[in-house]
Structure 1
């Protein structure tokens, strides 16, 4: 881990490169002739798309599905991302109680295959967030708490004020960390689906010190032009994730992946043209 906090590193990279794009890397074994091809392509896409990305987000499920070899690939991917000075968000949606939560936090927020940040699931209660938040703060990292996910089925359990309660806890944790300064981002961020554009201004107001991770751009149908309300003045405070729409933009064509990443970056910048 670097001594510079995750939120600062991501914001500085976003501003210096002019990008709000989070590069998702979700390698699917059935798309390749074998493991070597998967590894080479995934690392090549990372390298080609890095100039257009503010951060990278491996979805842990795809690496776990590959067994021990997949964990080694994840470590190699994280090492390559660090060489590129690319902040890493591990999308694991972990959440549990007590020592189990602490073990998850140790696994994914420190160590060889850890990221700089981790997505976490608050479903078991606010107390389950504590080990993750403590580990993130100790390592200069961050957590992204699931508040309003991008899938249509989220309404089954995230309605009736549940998401609002989670957002209130995210706000409380942020205020606990950085005080009342509305210009400083907390290490406790939130996942809010880019597929809910009409709600983004409300979530931004509800969590003013939270870095927002907006999944759903591209394959899930979200449009960059609709996402400006999620951002803070100056075009900071949020990153927008696209995975399949980049890594497999045209089969296994790495240059097509880079072109897709560049296009998403440009679309997001155009949407924010009045504030950056």
Structure 2
């Protein structure tokens, strides 16, 4: 009899506690860095395998696979399959959000079938109803969603200030209250580049796992991120992409060292 997989947020928590890591490996393969797609594939998979023991999950950014055309989706499937073989939860960064049957199709595409049990980043710009298909499919398949609340890019202030981010956070919190347990399958994206706001958003979403992008190339510092975590150092994961995959060109050993350093810096931030 096949055991029921743990929900995504529980997989993440167990990996955090077992391996002592709060780091998310972003895999954003950029074609212009390689000789060809075969070279891109080899390096991307090598980085994943080298860093697997140092990270809590892996986050492929869908755009970098979509831009490869017909070769992109098979590569994404390989990345997901290798990650699962290595025991890594997969968080797909697609920022999807739409209405009705289109939202349902996106949810089924990325949170069921070959991606069952994965998580997906989503946005609520079209209204709260757009979240429902994603949340329902995630709950049905043991997956998770991360709603964009306060993103890491400099232009986020154009739309996310004046209480807008707080409104989205309130909806995330409400969805979380519908579930038993101390962590919901409905998480939130809160940029690590806004360290002064982390305590605020942590308090607004007490059951949400927070995805904190921006470590490394975007300038966020691990030492500033402790307020995002729940007691015991769980409930948040910090992503770095370029700062690991391309820290020294295509040097895989350098990528592994960068991941180790980020992991250690995050752990140190939680013990000071």
The TM-score with structure 2 as length reference comes to: 0.97
Task: Tell me, in whole angstroms, the C-alpha distance in 1 between the residues paired with 2:147 and 2:117.
Answer: 15
Match of 1:193 in 2: 191
SS in structure 2 at match of 1:200: helix
Alpha-carbon RMSD across the aligned residues, in angstroms, is 1.2
Could you tell me whether the CA contact under 8 Å between 2:117 and 2:138 is conserved in 1? no
Match of 2:227 in 1: 229
Task: Tell me, in whole angstroms, the C-alpha distance in 2 between the residues paired with 1:93 and 1:50.
Answer: 24
SS in structure 1 at match of 2:41: helix
The one of 212, 215, 231 aligned to 2:213: 215
Q: 1:37 to 1:30 in 2, by over 3 A?
A: same
Task: Tell me, in whole angstroms, the C-alpha distance in 2 between the residues paired with 1:190 and 1:169.
Answer: 10
Task: Tell me, in whole angstroms, the C-alpha distance in 2 between the residues paired with 1:2 and 1:77.
Answer: 23
Q: 1:92 to 1:2 in 2, by over 3 A?
A: farther
Match of 2:17 in 1: 15
Of 13-22 and 106-115, more deviation after overlay is shown by: 106-115
Q: How does 1:1-276 map to 2 (within 5 A)?
A: 3-113=5-115, 116-178=118-180, 184-274=182-272
Of 64-73 and 110-119, more deviation after overlay is shown by: 110-119
Q: CA deviation at 1:160?
A: 1.4
Task: Tell me, in whole angstroms, the C-alpha distance in 2 between the residues paired with 1:240 and 1:115.
Answer: 20
| Structure 1 residue ranges, 4+ long, deviating more than 6 angstroms after superposition | none
Task: Tell me, in whole angstroms, the C-alpha distance in 2 between the residues paired with 1:208 and 1:196.
Answer: 18
Task: Tell me, in whole angstroms, the C-alpha distance in 1 between the residues paired with 2:12 and 2:76.
Answer: 20
SS in structure 2 at match of 1:43: helix
Task: Tell me, in whole angstroms, the C-alpha distance in 1 between the residues paired with 2:242 and 2:117.
Answer: 21
Q: CA deviation at 1:94?
A: 0.0
Q: CA deviation at 1:3?
A: 2.2
The TM-score with structure 1 as length reference comes to: 0.96
Task: Tell me, in whole angstroms, the C-alpha distance in 2 between the residues paired with 1:224 and 1:158.
Answer: 23
SS in structure 1 at match of 2:113: coil
Could you tell me whether the CA contact under 8 Å between 1:93 and 1:121 is conserved in 2? yes
